[in-house]
Structure 1
Amino acid sequence: MKLAKRVSALTPSSTLAITAKAKELKAAGHDVIGLGAGEPDFNTPQHILEAAVTAMNDGQTKYTPAGGLAPLKEAVIEKFKRDQGLTYSPSEIIVCTGAKHALYTLFQVLLDEGDEVIIPTPYWVSYPEQVKLAEGTPVFVEGSENNEFKITPEQLEAAITAKTKAVIINSPSNPTGMIYTREELQALGEVCLKHDIFIVSDEIYEKLVYGQNEHVSIAQLSPALKEKTIIINGVSKSHSMTGWRIGYAAGDATVIKAMTNLASHSTSNPTSIAQYATIAAYNGTQEPVEMMRQAFEERLNVIHEKLINIPGFSCLKPQGAFYLFPNAIEAAKLTGFDTVDAWVEAILEEEKVALVPGSGFGSPENVRLSYATSLDLLEKAVERIHSFMTRHMK
């Protein structure tokens, strides 16, 4: 059967083989520690669950407007005022079926065939694929490990062509956990304004920031930058609501209207019950959000110290999100493997620890470890990796 070209052009996820193998080993009764999770290991806070139950009992189980419930848009607007000092109108907000759907819809309305989107590496795996699905062209710019995996204004300027439509900024980053400072964002923003390109600001991890670091939205820095920025966010990571599938985009009203029109012909609307739950998430207490953030920071501080003692590992300490992204190329070479991907496969086979190879994020020398799991399991995983290294080092 001949499938559409847009599907044939997609790059299969490099994590699929590892994930499938981990599930196979678990099903066979092996004690597998999975560190690939892209979601908090906490349940959704109780007051949010209760709001969903109330909504169901009140009969709020019907279609909603394609762009989201008016009370939810107002809750999102209040969140922007509270957290970033940003002002939006309802016409500048669309609620989607997850932040991923918001990104997908944005690229569909923003890009024509051949339009270029600049994507810093390492990148979240879906960015280039979504650009390709919109018939755009991903243009990769390396965020050097020496620069905390972040790109510079000079690199951005050099990558811009007459076909450039947008640049993606993901801060805090998946997979690196790094955060752009206010000054770094200002410098990148000036380049974007000079060349009149859109800024797609993925801020899904904004609530998970550690130490003295701060999250700054590039849209905060000036009215001109706000005008050119489309913010993508949601409650999946901040409120442990990954399965509820509620995200949103905020920005130019013309872009948001086009996204809403497209959504009306695809998803019809986000799930009504999940929308009511999200109203409670934003309007209710934020104490569970902070408790979760503190738990992640504690895990990070413990596990990072242990990780950098593994032979062949080097690892910048993340500033946000819940991932570690160590460079493991020396670890692979020390144990006789040509690639990190092969090393990751061997770790899973022998030690039953599932890591995510960095090749899927455009960084083949690295691996991604999620610390969205218990500290006990994290420590066991590091012990197993250390044992593997000790046994195989040449």
Structure 2
Amino acid sequence: MTSSPRDRRVSQRIGAIAESATLKVDAKAKALKAEGRPVIGFGAGEPDFPTPDYIVEAAVEACRDPRNHRYTPAGGLPELKKAIAAKTLRDSGLVVDPAQVLVTNGGKQAIYAAFAAMLDPDDEVIVPAPYWTTYPEAIALAGGVPVEVLADETQDYKVTVEQLEAARTDRTKVLLFVSPSNPTGAIYSAEEIRAIGRWVEDHDLWVLTDEIYEHLVYDDAETGSMPALCPFLQDNCVIVNGVAKTYAMTGWRVGWMIGPKDLVKAATNLQSHATSNVANVAQRAAIAAVEGDLTAVEEMKTAFDRRRKTIVSMLNEIDGVLCPMPGGAFYAYPSVKGLLGKDYDGVRIDTSAELAEYFLDKAEVAAVPGEAFGSPGYLRFSYALGDDDIVEGISRLQKLLA
């Protein structure tokens, strides 16, 4: 008996997409909290600070302006595109024309739009791992093929030019580059970025560089934006960024991509059919964010830096856990391989996914397993939550594993 097209209820392309592991863990933690359980969630990469008042006030004012009650250009408000160009010059030293900017519904849409504009079927994208869960899905959805290159804690979670070259084939079109990294917090030095940029240039590849954590860099690390450090790449480079992490605006959903005008125009055409313009009130708030000074950002960064040191120190006190000090973002990414292959409460735990379930069940602590990031044997802990919660949560794990 043959099946009809109607029996295939979900397309293979969409059916192959995995649920976001980070959002899944966060949702489960919140559901348990709603049931009254004292769960501490280290899952979501979301600052625990409120959006700064001056940004909120700009949104309130925008709500009262009838101009914002209507459609605006699909590619973004001209005022915001101009402000993003100015902000990019201020923060990265990179000269950008507003016509090179597409304002998107958060960084995720910018990533997908960029890959959709760059990739043809079976084009390969080199994806350094551990990687953020969305990257491979966005590549596959755009018709491309993600090619993973793993860097573990012995190399500070940073890939080398030699590894990249070993992964390159005749079908390689794009390198995905992320610094600071989600999930590891790793930061590439300026010299490391230049070396990778020269390799990209030698092989005439594209680069998509995700700079969403650009302001969360600790210990005065010398780093930078790839197209600024490697100006010869500017015509083959796409920057993805947004207001979510820097300004505690995850829920406002404003991101952007910056790239060559022809690519940005193609991505804008896609967005014109997919979503039209980003909500105008959120765009007006984003203008206030990127045009404002970085005082509030520095205050948040100071808190994250303190929490970074606390969580890494406490994790490393657990036998079987090895946690490098992250140089940026707000994630700790310890190896938990020393905890695996053992019996806990009469049950053998062999994977980091099983360990994460055990932590949630027995200690009411939620972390994301490394399987979600292409590197089993690790857990990601976001330290974008209160100091007391960090201490309490890791203390629970110390007691559970003592």
Give the corresponding residue for 1:326: 334
User: Which residue does 2:376 correspond to in 1?
Assistant: 364
Partner of 1:35: 42
1:49 aligns with 2:56: yes
Change in Cα spacing, 1:55 to 1:13, as seen in structure 2 (3 Å) is closer
1:176-223 deviations in Å (ceiling 9; x for gaps): 000111111111111111111100000000011111214411101232
Distance 2:223 2:39 in 1: 34
* Aligned positions of 1:1-394 closer than 5 A: 1-2=7-8, 3-15=10-22, 18-19=25-26, 21-59=28-66, 60-334=68-342, 335=344, 336-390=348-402
Amino acid of the structure 2 residue aligned with 1:173:
S
- The secondary structure found in structure 2 opposite 1:292 is helix
SS of the residue aligned with 1:265?
Answer: helix
Would you say the 8 A contact 2:197–2:230 is kept in 1?
A: no
Q: How far apart are 1:341 and its partner, in Å?
A: 1.2
Distance change in 2, residues 1:324/1:352 (3 Å): same
> Does the 8 A contact of 1:172 with 1:215 survive in 2?
no
Deviations 1:263-294 (A, max 9, x none): 11111111101111111101123211111111
The alpha carbon displacement at 1:157 in A equals 1.3
Residue identity (%): 46
Equivalent residue letter for 1:72: L
Structure 2: 5+ residue stretches without partners: 1-6
- CA shift for structure 1 position 25: 2.9
- State how far apart, in whole Å, the 2-side matches of 1:313 and 1:28 are: 31
**Could you list the runs of 5+ residues in structure 1 that have no partner in the other structure?**
none
Q: Is the 8 A contact 1:119 1:140 kept in 2?
A: yes
Q: Partner letter of residue 73 of structure 1?
A: K
Query: TM (normalized to structure 1)?
Result: 0.96
Q: 3-state DSSP class of the match of 1:381? A: helix
Instruction: Say if 1:9 and 1:132, in contact at 8 Å, map to a contact too.
Output: no
Deviations 1:87-111 (A, max 9, x none): 1112211111111100111111111
Tell me, in whole angstroms, the C-alpha distance in 1 between the residues paired with 2:41 and 2:152: 28
CA separation in 2, counterparts of 1:23 and 1:277? 27
Segment of structure 1 superposing worse, 80-89 or 210-219: 210-219
| CA–CA distance in structure 2, aligned partners of residues 257 and 37 of structure 1 | 33
Q: 81-90 vs 368-377, which deviates more?
A: 81-90
**Across the two proteins, how many residue pairs are aligned to each other?**
390
Q: Map Cα deviations across residues 236-280 of structure 1 (whole Å, 9 max, x no partner).
A: 000011111111111111100101111111111111011111111
Q: Which amino acid aligns with 2:273?
A: H
8 Å CA contact 2:200, 2:206 repeated in 1: yes
Shifted more, 335-344 versus 15-24: the winner is 15-24
Q: How far apart, in 2, do the equivalents of 1:18 and 1:244 lie? A: 21
Partner of 2:69: helix, strand, or coil? coil
- Greater displacement, 284-293 / 221-230: 221-230
Q: Aligned letter for 2:361?
A: E
| 1:209 counterpart letter in structure 2 | V
CA contact (8 A) 2:23 2:43 kept: no
Whichever residue aligns with residue 296 of structure 2, its letter is P
Quick one: which amino acid aligns to residue 40 of structure 1? P
More divergent stretch after superposition (97-106 vs 298-307): 298-307
CA contact (8 A) 2:103 2:256 kept: yes
Q: Structure 1's 20 and 53: CA in aligned 2 closer, same or farther, altered over 3 A?
A: closer
SS at match of 2:281: helix
CA shift for structure 1 position 21: 4.3
SS at match of 1:327: coil
What displacement does 1:337 show?
A: 1.6
Does the Cα contact within 8 Å between 1:14 and 1:359 map onto a contact in 2? no
Q: CA deviation at 1:23?
A: 3.9
What is the CA deviation profile of residues 288-327 of structure 1, one whole-angstrom value per residue up to 9, with x for unaligned ones?
Answer: 1111111100111222111110111101100000000000
What is the alpha-carbon distance in structure 1 between the residues aligned to residue 297 and residue 388 of structure 2? 22
- 8 Å CA contact 1:52, 1:273 repeated in 2: yes
C-alpha contact 2:20 2:134 (8 A) present in aligned 1: no
RMSD in angstroms over aligned alpha carbons?
A: 1.4
Q: In the aligned structure 1, how far is the partner of 2:354 from the partner of 2:401?
A: 14
- After superposing the two structures, state which structure 1 stretch, 248-257 or 221-230, moved more: 221-230
